[in-house]
Structure 1
Amino acid sequence: MLGRVLGGRYRIIQHLGSGGFGQTFLAVDQQLPSQPLCVVKQLQPRTPNPFVLQTAKRLFDAEAEVLYRLGNRHEQIPQLFAHFEENQEFYLVQEFIEGTNLSEELIPGNPWTEDQVIELLKDILGVLAFVHSEQVIHRDIKPENLIRRKQNGKIALIDFGAVKEVVAQGTHLPGSTRQTIGIGTPGYMPSEQAAGKPKCSSDVYAVGIIGIQALTGLLPQQFPEDPITGELRWQSWAQASAGLIAILERLTRYHFSERYSSAQEALQAVEQLQQKNLAQSLPQSLSQTVLLPPSHSKAIAQSLSLQQHSLRRSELGWNFWVRFVIATYLGPTIGTILVFVSAVIFFLADKYLLSGFVFSRYKDNLQLIAALIAGPVMGLCVGVAEWLAMRRWISGIAWWIPASVFSSTLIGFAMALSAVGLWSKTILGALGGVTRWAVLREKAPRAKWLIPWFMLSSLIGPLRLYVIDLSIRSQSGPSLVVGILLPFLYTSLMVWILRRQ
């Protein structure tokens, strides 16, 4: 099939997938100057029966007409470029959407924040509301059929199940008993759809399952089910407001009559929850004196929600990179200066005010005294520098500064207590990493990787200018190179942690 030209213009360049209905290919349109990419779906009914072929062709044309109407009126649905028959095989040619599959973002064990889940639900329900308004039921809502466009980050809905429905219909021969065949994917398909009676609320159910999957970090197969009512029991794994949990519960009710009847109704509920969360987050005085128009309120909600999200790679560009690298150098540099000044002041105060009492009494514990001074001061300077570098991209992390003070103090003691074993130092470093993880955990699930990073730092010393200082004093070239590279490694870790997953 590769290299074959279909319809006189679409040259197949890659096989994308196959199933019971046929195959999907990536192709180029040779008749357009830029030769854009497109997706070609091939339908191959598995019977030579003329009636089956005629029925398949009729349904294929009808579905193609629906797809053409939808794709040309909504940016989150791929456009249909052509549909034709060639050698008794049917083809659909659709727009190729460049982006990432939602299944790649829904990583098991990495739950999303409530704000992220709300934005995801709004994005999916927005396009699904349009589909339902056109009297169309998608029938196969799942992460694999949702693609986040690289161009604008919007979720695009693909694969409207046309060819799957044709195959199901094509199995009914004249004179045979017609059986209803459920179309969909287990885990995302409610009971009435499995029985072959899908409704708009069936699509709504699938969206709810995706929302629960994002919120809990669990796969649909892992959701326990009530043996009596058939309702899903996932709430104990969710960290969210009662409002969001109530919406997800109604989206996924076992009986369709208890769900939202359409995507539009569900979308309104999600938007109302977002408005409520926004009102609670605004200062009380502002909410009492200013009445915002709905359009302004919605814009502010989107802005605040964007700030609370973990960030996409494109948002963490060179500007953030440079700022954070500077912070990793500048914070310890200022800290070193302040530690030196503090040590001088402490020495002078002890000499002239205390007649050398501290140095004479605790001369064997001077390292601990130095750690007691250096740890908090260094942590304060580093924490402030890193917070200043991050606050423009991710808000609500002022606790990063005391977390830095705490972790730096622990690591300072780990360095001072040279007799402390590796396990003790590792535990101290882990505690320091846990404090920073606690600040970012709701905004960036990958923040847990700060724990092993600070465990490592407690073993080999603070990972920044300390290595450079040691390398200069020991005149070790390799150590100097490592010391210079460590801030870049730390910055890479922070970019990976903060970017949207």
Structure 2
Amino acid sequence: MPYCLNPQCQKPNNPETGRFCMNCGKNLQLKGLYEAIALIGQGGMGRTFRGRDLGRLGQPCAIKQFLPQFADSQLPDSKLMTKAIALFESEANQLKELGSHPQIPELIAYFEEDGCWYLVQELIEGENLYNELQRQGVFSEAKIYQLLAEILPVLQFIHDRQVIHRDIKPDNIIRKKGKRKKGKMSLVLVDFGAAKVFKSNTARTGTLIGSAEYIAPEQTRGKAVIQSDLYSLGVTCIHLLTGISPFDLYDDASDRWIWREKLPNAISTQLAKMVDQLLAKAIVNRYQSAEEVLKDLQPLKITNITSSANMALRSKGLRELREALSLGQWQEGDRLTNQIILELAKKTQISQLTTVDIQQIPCDLWLEIDRAWMEASNGHFGWTSQRQIWDSLGGKLIYRENNYWEFAVVYERFADRVGWRKPRWFKLAFSPKVWRKYENLTFTIASPQGHLPTLFFWEGFNLVDAVFYRLEICQTY
């Protein structure tokens, strides 16, 4: 249904076959090529519409209509209008230069018609991260990792081309609709209306622009640099992690961020340190480039095994594991699972495994082992099955020394649920349960859900949260 672009039109919706507005008579097609069909956004500088590109067989597009609130046909402010037009033209120029990147909207057209300025670009179907936060609640550490891993390369791309975005915030990051394909990024950076070209990374006084909650200290003085975008990305992270406005995450009395104290869920020390460095007040103490941040993310990324010996070990071990599980040889499958992990970590006992060892084992291996267990047991056994039980008991993915007692309580309940502990032979009130010996576990499909694999059993108790956290990271990708 065509939508009239006349800002004064009282009845903008029109019949499907209409060429001119039934209410005000305005031509419904821009340049005879583009047609708005629904209003999808409105702000101080204009409106955004879902549209159709008639020159491309009606392909969906986004139409941005420049319509600053201060514009008054009777008494225009020439300076403000000139600046606003310059910003609009700047967005078009930036999209023209940067739109070749798959995570930046492609510019289709830019023109003036009937005294209004229009920008037509690729329509990104999806939801921005601010709306996702409102709908789904605070982001997990895995989702923040995904955000950084996908958006940092985009920032590096634009910074390499001497462009500063200057308005990084959850509203300007859209998660594309549809199932995410392996190797494809789902996050898109939009709204380059505030973007600025720089000739060097030396800050020069310019226009104050950006969203007040997210801008870096130097940007408030009109001196944005590429590190300003990294600061805004850090603020975006703490907003998504806490669900609290950044204004309320900064303590003016002590002149410091207090976001850590507001976290509803614990996060790893590594991520917390990275975010703090993104938020450093002094530019010199901040990350100096997006590439530098990505290097610190590397330990969490999927690591590839390159040696032929390790490749052979993985292939042989996984093949034997699948075969044993398909035959219902659960104890042999459990032994092979532990053996694969120990050999890759170069350890001889489960008790020797550390969180670092868990992070170094490739994601695809964790997922393959878990998938083998889940498929062979029809979801009865496997880490995913155990994770569901852990979550149902209130278990977290990250524990620290100061809340270790919480972990111990949940772990005992978990062991009881999966059948690793049993009541004493004498049943007295409040008598504690006792741990079964490994050889006395029940290696049959009739055992409790989550009974196998036994990586976390007794000597591997410290691996529960580490493995579940690693799986969440891996399953995100």
Q: Which residue of 2 aligns with 1:138?
A: 165
Aligned pairs (5 A) from 1:363-378? none
Distance 1:21 1:56, change over 3 A: closer
Partners in 2 of 1:140 and 1:243 — Cα distance?
Answer: 26
Aligned partner of 1:65 among 85, 89, 93: 93
Q: 1:275, CA displacement in angstroms? A: 6.8
Which amino acid is 2:149 matched to? K
Asked if 1:286 is matched to 2:361, the reply is no
Aligned partner of 1:269 among 285, 296, 304: 296
TM-score between the two structures when normalised by the length of structure 1 = 0.54
Q: 1:208, CA displacement in angstroms? A: 1.3
Aligned partner of 2:106 among 76, 79, 82: 79
Aligned pairs (5 A) from 1:31-430? 31-33=55-57, 35-45=58-68, 46=71, 48=76, 57=85, 60-72=88-100, 74-107=101-134, 110-151=137-178, 152=180, 154-162=186-194, 181-225=207-251, 227-235=253-261, 237=263, 239-274=266-301, 283=341, 285-288=343-346, 301=362, 303=364, 387-388=380-381, 391=383, 406=416
Which structure 2 residue ranges, 5 or more long, are not aligned?
A: 5-11, 15-27, 197-204, 306-337, 348-357, 392-410, 420-463, 470-474
Partners in 1 of 2:221 and 2:416 — Cα distance?
Answer: 58
SS of residue matched to 2:251: coil
Query: Deviations for 1:376-414, whole angstroms, at most 9, x for unmatched residues?
Result: xxxxxxxx87533x75x67756868986895699xxxxx
Aligned residues: 331
Which amino acid is 2:67 matched to? Q
SS of residue matched to 2:163: coil
Contact 1:71 1:78 survives alignment (8 Å)? yes
Query: Deviations for 1:411-434, whole angstroms, at most 9, x for unmatched residues?
Result: xxxxxxxxxxxxxxxxxxxxxxxx
Partners in 2 of 1:104 and 1:89 — Cα distance?
Answer: 29
Contact 1:142 1:210 survives alignment (8 Å)? yes
Q: Which residue of 2 aligns with 1:16?
A: 40
CA RMSD between the two structures: 5.0
Partners in 2 of 1:113 and 1:440 — Cα distance?
Answer: 14
Q: 1:240, CA displacement in angstroms? A: 2.3
Percent identity of equivalent pairs = 33
Partners in 2 of 1:387 and 1:246 — Cα distance?
Answer: 38
Which structure 1 residue ranges, 5 or more long, are not aligned?
A: 166-178, 290-296, 309-322, 328-383, 410-438, 445-498
Partners in 2 of 1:103 and 1:385 — Cα distance?
Answer: 37
Partners in 2 of 1:302 and 1:123 — Cα distance?
Answer: 17
Asked if 1:30 is matched to 2:54, the reply is yes
Which amino acid is 2:99 matched to? G
Which amino acid is 1:23 matched to? R
SS of residue matched to 1:25: strand
Partners in 1 of 2:368 and 2:238 — Cα distance?
Answer: 22
Q: Which residue of 2 aligns with 1:484?
A: none
Q: Which residue of 2 aligns with 1:449?
A: none
Q: Which residue of 1 aligns with 2:446?
A: none
Partners in 2 of 1:298 and 1:408 — Cα distance?
Answer: 25
